[in-house]
């Protein structure tokens, strides 16, 4: 019940973000969602795509440094309190969130939260035991 996320190293310079996006576009790969962490000098681009193995090959053969990590995606009601409820569960279970980001689907009233935990398996078990809907690749795509 984990999904694969690709991370890339980017220098913090004009044009650096568009390069990987262009590579994926040319390969016909659609980006489901992305998040960008940045410092003054460099950034880390994290993306979720359907065919992550192909995306990885495309990016690596263009010379990008790519890292694959397993992240946990959960589904919540797209309404006030949706995120707070899940964070409470995570807090009580003493799970540390390395980082997170969120997105909503085009249709419907659900939002998807993406979490990076140190131990994703333990996190999935805790979340599921508390009745939180953890979604896998199939549902997400």
Residue 7 touching other proteins (CB under 8 A): yes
Residue 89 touching other proteins (CB under 8 A): no
How many residues contact other proteins, by CB under 8 A? 21
Burial label for 135, CB within 10 Å (0-12, 13-18, 19+), is middle
User: 26 vs 98, which CB is nearer to other proteins?
Assistant: 98
Quote the least distance from Cβ 1 to other proteins, whole Å.
Answer: 19
Residue whose C-alpha is closest to residue 72's, from 129, 126, 8, 136: 136
Site string for other proteins, 8-27 (x = CB under 8 A): -xxx----x-----------
Quote the least distance from Cβ 29 to other proteins, whole Å.
Answer: 19
Q: Note the maximum CA span of the chain.
A: 45
Residue from 41, 80, 84, 106 binding other proteins (CB under 8 A): 41
Using the Cα atoms of residue 122, residue 43, residue 47 and residue 92 in order, give the sign of their dihedral. positive
CA distances for 70 relative to 3, 4, 27, 77, 108, angstroms: 6, 5, 23, 23, 26
Residue from 29, 55, 90, 116 binding other proteins (CB under 8 A): 116
Residue from 99, 128, 139, 141 binding other proteins (CB under 8 A): 99
Stretch that binds other proteins, among 7-15, 26-34, 76-84, 122-130 (CB under 8 A): 7-15
Report how far residue 135's alpha carbon sits from residue 115's, in angstroms, rounded to the nearest whole number. 12
Residue whose C-alpha is closest to residue 8's, from 29, 38, 28, 40: 38
Interface residue list for other proteins (CB under 8 A): 5, 7, 9-11, 16, 37, 39, 41-42, 44, 46, 63-67, 69, 98-99, 116
């Amino acid at each position: 019940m984990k999904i694969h996320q690709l991370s890339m190293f980017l220098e913090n310079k004009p044009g650096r973000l568009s390069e990987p996006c262009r590579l994926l576009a040319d390969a016909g790969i659609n980006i489901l969602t992305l998040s960008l962490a940045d410092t003054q000098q460099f950034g880390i681009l994290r993306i979720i795509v359907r065919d992550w193995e192909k995306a990885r090959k495309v990016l690596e053969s263009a010379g990008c440094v790519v890292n694959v990590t397993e992240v946990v995606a959960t589904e919540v009601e797209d309404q006030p309190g949706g995120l707070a409820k899940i964070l409470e569960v995570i807090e009580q279970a003493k799970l540390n969130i390395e980082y997170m980001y969120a997105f909503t689907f085009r249709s419907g009233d659900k939002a998807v939260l993406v979490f990076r935990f140190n131990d994703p398996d333990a996190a999935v078990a805790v979340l599921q035991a508390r009745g939180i809907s953890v979604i896998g690749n199939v549902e997400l795509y």
